[in-house]
Chain A
Amino acid sequence: MDKSSQPQQSKPASIAANVSPEREAELQRLFRIVLKQYGPLLTGATK
């Protein structure tokens, strides 16, 4: 199968997806907003 024709995966393999694709999209949306508000605190970049 031509890989270039496959949809681009934005989800790392390490994330266990016990959620539906619709919920996954919603959680990614929530996460982007949280990241915008508190990014460095979540990733430990301020330590």
Chain B
Amino acid sequence: MTSSLTFEDVEYLVGLINAQGTDEPVILTAEERDQVQLWLSYALEWPVESSPKRERERRAARLYCAIVTGRPLRDGNKRLALMVTAAFLIAEGFLPSWSSQEMYEIATREDGNPRELPRIFSDLIRLISRNTQPLTDENADSAATPIAA
């Protein structure tokens, strides 16, 4: 699968988050950049396990989980995970509408116990599947306001 979101894309998106005037900008140090790049590569480029069914949702779940539990940044992991996962799905032509809090609670359940990971992934995939719909021109047009400078 060709990655629809590159590390350079993620860096640019982080810049856009920070340009919104947040009090707590998302900062990527050199070491953190390497970590984010690794997780992104794992989530989007490594083959998905066993079944190609719902590959898009599997990759989105893997991407979100990798950032939230891998914690590559000192601060801003939850926002980064939400941003890149949503951007990945939109780039694939789907509009996400899941609850960010529910997503986070599932991903961090059981404090990352490896034995729980299959169930965590399965629940994340289900949440994503139930809360995404094909992106329409109407969705895209209604968001067509300038990015704040």
Contact = CB atoms under 8 A, between A and B. Distances in A.
B46 to A, nearest CB: 23
B18 interface: yes
Q: Please classify the interface of chain B as helix (H, G, I), strand (E, B), loop, or mixed, using the class held by over half of its residues.
A: helix
B30 to A, nearest CB: 13
A1 interface: no
Contact of A43 (B11, B21, B145): B21
A24 B12 CA distance: 8
B147 A10 contact: yes
Contacts of B142: 36
A42 B17 contact: yes
Main secondary structure of the interface of A (DSSP, over half): helix
A10 B17 CA distance: 14
Contacts of B144: 29, 32
Contact of A42 (B11, B79, B149): B79
Contacts of B16: 15, 27-28, 31
Interface residues of A, number: 31
Contact of B12 (A19, A36, A37, A42): A19
A38 B15 contact: no
Most buried by B among A29, A33, A37: A33
A10 B148 CA distance: 7
B24 A44 contact: yes
Contact of B9 (A15, A19, A37, A43): A19
Contact of B149 (A9, A23, A29, A43): A9
A27 B18 contact: no
Interface of B: 8-9, 11-13, 15-24, 79, 82-83, 86-87, 90-91, 95-97, 100, 135, 139-140, 142-147, 149
Given A31-B147, A32-B145, A43-B21, 17 more contacts: A11-B147, A12-B19, A12-B149, A18-B12, A23-B9, A27-B12, A28-B147, A29-B144, A31-B87, A32-B143, A36-B142, A37-B86, A41-B82, A42-B17, A42-B79, A44-B24, A44-B79
